[in-house]
Each structure stands twice: as structure tokens, then as C-alpha cells.
Copies of this chain bind each other. A is one copy, B any other.
């Protein structure tokens, strides 16, 4: 029985992880649950799964995240932002597997995490559907990929032009065509900022250069990503859109077991569509490639600023297109002064805090 710590248990990934564990109760036991502030749902989860440990970050402080992983075999990281950075590092230092659903950990601290993994028996198991797909496609390969095709649904506004995006509302942006996810990530999907994050994640997870990662818009979210090898053979992973599959694969890896997701029926779907990213309308999509070649703390600037902007957009206080222009402004503002900055976990936390405060001040003006 694998003891599973779930950090962020009341969010979309957290609750689906609990479903996977419930459906595989012969293999997994819930060891610990940590939520941010949803005490009601956490209480229900504690009642159903009887974990050894449960905590609320808003009440018990961020230290509870490290406490929660201490005796686990695998920690599912499904928190928002960089709050779980220390817990991830603790896992790696103590040979605990990390099933990573959170994007920000690798976006901000990717190089630090990958370096730490080198001396550890801990495995970094991707849970993001795209990275799970890439990982599945690379199984058994003794060659590195020559290219990664990162598929993108394109989000709620796929196919729209920039001038059609000027007055879109949070309600519009939250209508994702394929995925039922948290609000933050659904907005990141609408701006395609999520792809900037995922490009960086892919670089760290699969040891490739950002120039080897191409974003391909695939509005149906059936092909979850693809890899290409030196011989120009491409391997792709497909399934109906469901986060339960990548969650379960990360937990049961390298085994596959029956999963509560319907089989794919390509003859009914009949056609799979692919197109290039419209970078003029969705300039955020390009930021991962751009930031990859800058000082690694620039990704922290991008992430922290975007996080604040999404909250402002959701609150109706920032136009959709200003998410990009604000992030763009902050990257340009900080790039120079970060040039020689030391890159440590503390620096990530420091600049995350600095940029959040700066962004709030900037947007409140």
C-alpha cells in the first residue's frame, strides 16, 4: 500500500486524486490531506479517508505542507503557486516520490528541482496531461526526443482574433471547451499563458531546450502531446480529456491499471484538428520560449505577475488583454536587475513576493 500525501486536496486535481485512490483502494491509502482554506470540504475528505494528518494552510501555516509529506511514499502536489516549494524539496531530499500537478514549482524552481533530483531516489512524476503524455511517449526510448509537440486546446477563445478579445469577461473566459479545471488555470488556458508554463516544465522534465518544444493548437484535447525522434518518427498519446488518467498513471507507474475514463472512439470523433498558435492574439503562448533563455528568476517574475493579474481579471478589475501587457511590462522591468541575481529557493520566494506586491501596486494605480 502506497501512502499518498495530497497537497491541495480540495481543488480540482486534489478531489480527482481522491477519486483515483478510492477506485484503487487496494493500492493506495490517503496518508495526509492539506487544503488551503476550504475547511468544510477538507472535513468531509477526512471523514471519508481517515488520513493520519490533515491541515489547512490558511490556519496552520505553510509548514503543514512539509509535515504532511514526512512519512508519505508519494506526495501529490496540487497546490496553487509556489507554496509547496519546500515540501517538494523535502520530498526530494528524503527520497519521497513527487507527483507534480502544480506548474509553478518547475516554472520558478525547475533547475533547482532537477539538480536536487540528481542525488535522490525520489522520482518526479508529471501529472499535467501534456507532460504525462510526453512521459508516456518517451517510455522505453533510449533516444532523447529531437522535438516535443506540446498540444494546446487554445482555451475558451481559440480561433478569436485580438480585437475580439478586448471586452471578454471572466465568465466568457471560464467556459473551457474541454476541461473542467480550477478558475486560475482556466484563465491561463484562455490567455495561453499555461503553455508558457508548460514549455518551461517540459524543458526541465525532459531535459530539452525550449527551441525543441513547439506548441500545436489542437482544440479537441484528444492528443495530449507528442514527441519526435531523430528518425522523424512521432509518438503521440491520446485519450478523452480526463485528469484522472494522468493522475492515476503517475501513481501506478510503471504499471497501468483500469481507469474510470471512457475509451477513445476515433471513428466517432472522425477528425483531429491541428493548427499553429495565433501569437498575435495570444502572445502569452510565446513567453515560455522567451523566458527560457533569460535568467531563471524571470520565470518567477512572469508567474507571480500573471497570478496577480488573473485574480484582478477574475475580479473584473483588469481587461483580458492587459494580462499579457502587464506580464510583459514586469518581465521587461526586472530582466536587467535580475541579470546577476543568485538563483536559490530563497531568491525565488523573495522575487515572487516582490513582484506580487509590485504588480498589485501597479494595477491599483
* Neighbour of A235 across the interface among B233, B236, B257, CB < 8 A: B236
Query: Is A262 interfacial (CB 8 A cutoff)?
Result: yes
What distance in Å separates the Cβ of A270 from its nearest Cβ neighbour in chain B?
6
**A238 and B256 within 8 A (CB):** no
**Alpha-carbon separation in the docked complex, A263 to B266 (Å):** 24
User: What is the bound-complex CA distance between A129 and B219, given in angstroms?
Assistant: 28
Judge whether A141 and B140 touch: CB under 8 Å.
yes
The CB with the most chain B CB atoms within 10 A, among A235, A249, A252, is that of A235
Determine whether A142 belongs to the interface, using a CB cutoff of 8 Å to chain B: yes
Q: Among B217, B245, B266, which residue has its beta carbon within 8 angstroms of that of A231?
A: B245
Cα distance A271–B266 in the bound complex, in angstroms: 13
- Asked if A230 is at the interface of the complex by the 8 Å CB criterion, the answer is yes
Given A226-B238, A270-B275: A233 and B216 within 8 A (CB)?
no
Verify A143–B230 contact, CB threshold 8 A: no
28 contacts between A and B (CB under 8 A): A136-B233, A137-B235, A139-B139, A139-B140, A143-B255, A229-B256, A231-B248, A231-B249, A231-B252, A231-B259, A231-B261, A232-B240, A232-B245, A232-B259, A232-B262, A233-B238, A233-B249, A233-B256, A233-B259, A234-B237, A236-B238, A267-B274, A269-B274, A270-B275, A271-B273, A271-B274, A272-B272, A272-B274
Chain B residue contacts of A15, Cβ below 8 A: none
What's the Cα separation between A261 and B232 when bound, in Å?
A: 7
Interchain CA distance A226-B237 in the complex, whole Å: 9
Give this chain's copy count: 2
Q: Does A258 contact B (CB under 8 A)?
A: yes
* B232 in contact with A235 (CB, 8 Å): no
Q: Could you say which residues of chain B place their CB within 8 Å of the CB of A248?
A: 231
For residue A119, CB closer than 8 A to chain B, the reply is no
A157 at the interface (CB under 8 A from B): no
CA distance A217 to B248 in the complex (A): 31
A336 CB to closest chain B CB (Å) equals: 35
Q: Is A178 positioned at the interface, with any CB of B under 8 Å from its CB?
A: no
A266 to chain B, nearest CB (A): 4
Closest chain B residue to A272, Cβ basis: B272
- Contact mask for chain A residues 117-160; partner B; CB cutoff 8 A; 1 contact, 0 none: 00000000000000000001111111100010100000000000
Other than A232-B264, A236-B237, give 20 A-B pairs with Cβ distance below 8 A. A139-B139, A140-B254, A143-B255, A228-B263, A228-B264, A230-B257, A230-B259, A231-B248, A231-B249, A231-B252, A232-B245, A234-B237, A235-B238, A236-B238, A270-B274, A270-B275, A271-B272, A271-B273, A271-B274, A272-B272
